[in-house]
């Protein structure tokens, strides 16, 4: 399964994504990163930079065009939206559903990796 995560400017939430990067089993990692952010991404991660001030529909279309060639055709992806804001989350969810792939939300808790279905 592929892992997709958003990295926004809210540094206090980066630990959630980092914990998933270090513990989740995935075949491919795609990080959507706010252009103004310097996140220490793993070497094997595919990075898509976005400008968070883009209009929502433009952001969604941009992400569809960037994500489609990176996804291998699996039926669903693990998605972390612990970082970022509502506009960014809507663009990511909408772009993934438009590709189309299913979404399995994933979080890291005290109990470990949890999937929200």
Summarize pLDDT for 45-66 with one digit per residue, the tens.
999 999 999 999 999 999 999 9
What pLDDT does 60 receive? 97
Q: Which residues of the chain have pLDDT under 70?
A: none
What pLDDT does 46 receive? 96
Count the helix, strand and coil residues of the chain and give each as a percent rounded to the nearest 5: 35, 30, 35
Q: What is the distance, to the nearest Å, from the Cα of residue 112 to the centroid of all Cα atoms in its chain? A: 19
What pLDDT does 92 receive? 97
pTM of the entire predicted model = 0.93
Residue 38 belongs to domain with CATH number: 3.40.50.10770
Is the CB of residue 90 less than 8 Å from the CB of residue 98?
A: no
Domain of 60, in residue numbers? 2-116
Structural domains in the chain (count): 1
């Amino acid at each position: 399964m592929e892992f997709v995560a958003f990295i926004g400017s809210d540094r206090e939430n980066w630990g959630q994504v980092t914990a998933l990067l270090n513990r989740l089993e995935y075949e491919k990692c795609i990080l959507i990163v706010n252009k103004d952010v310097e996140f220490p991404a793993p070497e094997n991660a595919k990075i898509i930079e976005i400008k968070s001030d883009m209009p929502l529909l433009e952001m969604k279309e941009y992400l569809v065009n960037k994500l489609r060639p990176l996804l291998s055709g699996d039926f669903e992806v693990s998605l972390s939206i612990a970082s970022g804001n509502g506009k960014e989350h809507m663009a990511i969810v909408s772009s993934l559903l438009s590709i189309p792939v299913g979404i399995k939300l994933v979080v890291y808790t005290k109990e470990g990796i949890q999937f929200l279905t």
